[in-house]
Structure 1
Amino acid sequence: MSDRIKNLNPNETADKPYVVYWMQASQRTEYNHALEYAIAQANELDKPLLVYFGLTADFPEANARHYTFMLEGLQDVKAELSARGIAFIVQLTSPEKGAVAWAEDAALLIVDRGYLRIEREWRDRVAHAVSCPFIQVETNVIIPVEVASDKEEYAARTIRSKIHKQLDAYTEPLPQTDVVHASLDLDLPYEKVDISDISSLIDELDCDQSVPAVEWIKGGTPQAKKRLSHFIENNLPDYDEKRNQPGLAITSDMSPYLHFGQISPLYMYEQLADVPASENKKAFIEEFVVRRELSMNFVYYNDQYDSYVCLPDWAKETLANHTDDERETVYNLEELETSDTADPYWNAAQSEMMKTGKMHGYMRMYWGKKIIEWSPSPEEAYSRALYLNNKYNLDGRDPNSFTGIAWCFGKHDHGWKERPVFGKVRYMNAKGLERKFKMSDYLLRVANSLPND
């Protein structure tokens, strides 16, 4: 546990009435090291614990689809905290500003760890603004990012062994801590936010409502656990062989829940304990542990993670050498966004993302590659891919998403046979899809998954 804990300022504990856990990246009450640490500290200080969450419409590129899924999860958080005797305070304010305000009467302020630039900036501002100790507890990865590696890794192959060598040390179960002093009945001077009516709250937030919520998946830890259980029982036995087949729904659907911190990767790992060793189990661990924690490594050590600048030099050089190559077809952003291309597979992938908030992982790679081919420059292609991905995917604006987009342009990959437009960056085309998969099944699956307009 000690490797997960970091003092963000040198302040000493004050004799104030309560301890505050600022919940932000880890929106769950189970397998949450930050919450359990906060409860333990409150007990030791003989004080009640409050959990605070700041709700802002200013999170970059977030819209009603993202907020709905998040608020569904926060409803579960409120109920579960209440069952443990802990008050849950949701306020319509920029998260870091609310944290500073609550810290005025806090003996200790605790926060979970976020890796994106805005999350790190929030924590830095709070650390310099509060007079109480401010402690960060890392809980959204199995191995703390700086323990896993002290530098930006080149590829999955360079971080894989580092992670596997340390898994046993960081996969111990996390027991729940009993609350000594309940905080539900405290008289707290704050304006209560009703999170039971999500539609009205989104109206009050005044966030972007151009991208509607989806119906096929609901947010929250109970829903995440139910989906994980179903996946392990029904789909994991075929995972290694069939996960890349776009026409099949073999994926776990855990990425939205992981993005909002509604499920712990440690909990997921523990649910595999009784699953016999197999290539299927190995492949799933590779995805949600190795590849996911490589993405955390990327956004933590590379401050340009959301920019074309983040790409390796070889990729930028080869793409630059082919910027002026003639493109057979160039689409504008509106044509891409509305799935108005001559490629039925790409159109299906874009439609799947727009309507459902999710895209099959293999198709997301193809989708990104074709944007390179159809854009006037690689820089413009990068901007378009990020815009579309972050706007429509439930797991957009996530380290995994930023890493996935960068991969399409050569990040965490190596040079291939040189060709027009792509240079030495890996190329994908429709014929390759048709050789590997029965693409008519994908077109049918997407068509059947989309609601009637």
Structure 2
Amino acid sequence: MASIASIQSGRFRVLKEGSRTSDQAMGPVVYWMFRDQRLKDNWALIHAVDQANKANVPVAIAFNLFDQFLGAKARQLGFMLRGLRQLHRSITETLQIPFILFQGKAEDTIPNFLRECGASLLVTDFSPLQEIRRCKEQICKKVTDSVVIHEVDAHNIVPVWVASDKLEYSAKTIRGKINKLLPEYLIDFPTLQSPNREWALKDRVIDWDGLIDDVLRKGAEVPEIEWCEPGEDAAREVLMGGKNGFLTKRLKNYSADRNNPLKPKALSGLSPYLHFGQISAQRCALKAQRVRKLCPQAVDTFLEELIVRRELADNFCFYQPHYDSLKGAWGWAQTTLLNHASDKREQIYTREQFEKAQTADPLWNAAQLEMVYCGKMHGFMRMYWAKKILEWTREPEEALSISIYLNDKYEIDGRDPSGYVGCMWSICGVHDQGWKERPVFGKIRYMNYAGCKRKFDVDGYIAYVKGLKKVKRKADDMLSPKAKELHS
């Protein structure tokens, strides 16, 4: 293979070495896109094109559409596919790189395509989730020995395997490691070059409308949201747009108001775009650094969340295989939760009751309904929401299972390391410390209604969510008969 020039060597790792001999012709490069669904500021795409140009071979992008991946419904898949449709158009118009969409098991479709086109290098972006890692292991076994496989961490600013070689205990233990590496990795992106060679295989027509209609039908129980427009252009508008961009208009209130559920506009609104890789966290950080003089405290707080907390979540899911189980908690947390598993609960609710917001707590119900209606729940409320599930279920493993199920089903950014860590922090004390021991919770940090009331206007928040319900009903009344059938 040609030497690496466009990206730092630490930004990618070799999943499979090839056994190509010097007299064998170099085949095309294929970039299997999954987590980082964008044209701009994409280290994996930069690497794929760079390697193709150095070898003077063509390059293609492959995307495999999993069927309702980890329970994703119309809300998540519709957002993703609409973004991919825009991406397909942009890639075709600007780079003339073929974008090929597969449906089925990636461990079958990707190796089959590599054989079909005679590829010599597969570049893929990084995900710490077990399902994707197992899939990549299968692909490594199925492809021929002549194929090399590179994995590029295009999602984190400091690649997860560079930031730390072990499971970190908390933000405190990883913060210094990341900050030390930021001068090396928080750099601007090189210009994405056009491919030297055109792809010889026929381009495959993608029926985007049919695909979107299909996922809307299959996942109709969780309909799409309207407040968040998908795609790279929309993501950049949220970040830097003139009218309501986060860094241009809303940043100054971030530090003071971000923990107030009644002030959602103080938040960045970038989470859906970061989750689907429609914008680069690195680009967000670079843009934030340039306005730091205007709001230093707000920018520092934003960068802590964007870099340290996000990358801590990836660290946890990468180094802890039980990231969605009580087995993934630290020993002290497992012990205290099991010691209090038989404690009497004042209330016990089923998963269905939680899902329908049928608890005796109007604040909890409001948080659940905000997630159902909007596809997001305010971060402060998500902590309270998950901790109450622990308090109102028979055992902690059940509480964790219910919280992850609801989060992944309704949150637009569900099935994300930050979501798993959020549930694990609230219920299992991950990245936290032991607190005063009490019934049910043991030494897990406690939250209650009275504490929320001291923090913000609880009645105002409940009223705010009721208003969202009226808006949703009004929007549902305006749907076409076909749409009503899909959303029912």
What range is the shorter-chain TM-score in?
A: over 0.9
Shift of 1:207: 4.1
One of 222, 225, 228 as aligned partner of 1:214: 225
The correspondence of residues 134-153 of structure 1 with structure 2, limited to 5 A, is 134-153=149-168
- How far apart are the structure 2 equivalents of 1:302 and 1:292? 15
One of 34, 44, 49 as aligned partner of 1:34: 44
The correspondence of residues 155-194 of structure 1 with structure 2, limited to 5 A, is 155-181=170-196, 183=198, 186-188=200-202, 192-194=205-207
Q: How many residues align?
A: 449
- How far apart are the structure 1 equivalents of 2:467 and 2:89? 35
One of 413, 426, 429 as aligned partner of 2:448: 429
The correspondence of residues 237-256 of structure 1 with structure 2, limited to 5 A, is 237-249=252-264, 250-256=266-272
- 1:265 to 2:281 alignment: yes
Give me the CA root mean square deviation.
1.7
Give the structure 2 partner of residue 326 of structure 1.
Answer: 344
Give the structure 1 partner of residue 77 of structure 2.
Answer: 67
SS of residue in 2 equivalent to 1:77 = helix
The correspondence of residues 84-99 of structure 1 with structure 2, limited to 5 A, is 84-99=95-110
Structure 1 pair 216–74 and aligned structure 2 pair: CA distance change class (3 A)? same
- How far apart are the structure 2 equivalents of 1:319 and 1:350? 24
Shift of 1:12: 4.0
> Which AA in structure 2 matches 1:64?
A
> Which AA in structure 1 matches 2:423?
I
Query: What are the Cα deviations for residues 259-300 of structure 1, in whole angstroms up to 9, with x where unaligned?
Result: 111111111111112212511111111111100000000000
- How far apart are the structure 2 equivalents of 1:201 and 1:333? 28
Give the structure 2 partner of residue 8 of structure 1.
Answer: 15
The correspondence of residues 349-428 of structure 1 with structure 2, limited to 5 A, is 349-409=367-427, 410-428=429-447
- How far apart are the structure 1 equivalents of 2:120 and 2:395? 53
- 1:446 to 2:465 alignment: yes
> Which AA in structure 2 matches 1:165?
K
Identical pairs, percent: 40
Query: What are the Cα deviations for residues 314-355 of structure 1, in whole angstroms up to 9, with x where unaligned?
Result: 112112221222111111111110011121111111001111
SS of residue in 2 equivalent to 1:219 = coil
> Which AA in structure 1 matches 2:127?
G
The correspondence of residues 308-327 of structure 1 with structure 2, limited to 5 A, is 308-327=326-345
CA contact (8 A) 2:97 2:195 kept: no
Shift of 1:191: 5.4
Query: What are the Cα deviations for residues 27-57 of structure 1, in whole angstroms up to 9, with x where unaligned?
Result: 1111111101111111111122111111120
Shift of 1:10: 1.6
Q: Which runs of 5+ in 2 are unaligned?
A: 1-7, 477-488
Give the structure 2 partner of residue 232 of structure 1.
Answer: 247
- How far apart are the structure 1 equivalents of 2:442 and 2:201? 64
CA contact (8 A) 1:54 1:96 kept: no
Relative to the length of structure 1, the TM-score reads 0.95
CA contact (8 A) 1:331 1:375 kept: yes
- How far apart are the structure 1 equivalents of 2:424 and 2:193? 43
Shift of 1:197: 4.7
Q: Which runs of 5+ in 1 are unaligned?
A: none
SS of residue in 2 equivalent to 1:354 = helix
SS of residue in 1 equivalent to 2:345 = coil
- How far apart are the structure 1 equivalents of 2:174 and 2:286? 21
> Which AA in structure 2 matches 1:416?
W
Shift of 1:183: 3.7
Structure 1 pair 72–58 and aligned structure 2 pair: CA distance change class (3 A)? closer
Shift of 1:412: 0.8
Does 163-172 or 209-218 show the bigger shift? 209-218
- How far apart are the structure 1 equivalents of 2:214 and 2:354? 32
Shift of 1:95: 2.3
Shift of 1:168: 1.1
Give the structure 2 partner of residue 22 of structure 1.
Answer: 32
The correspondence of residues 45-124 of structure 1 with structure 2, limited to 5 A, is 45-57=55-67, 59-82=69-92, 83-104=94-115, 105-124=118-137
- How far apart are the structure 2 equivalents of 1:161 and 1:36? 28
SS of residue in 2 equivalent to 1:21 = strand
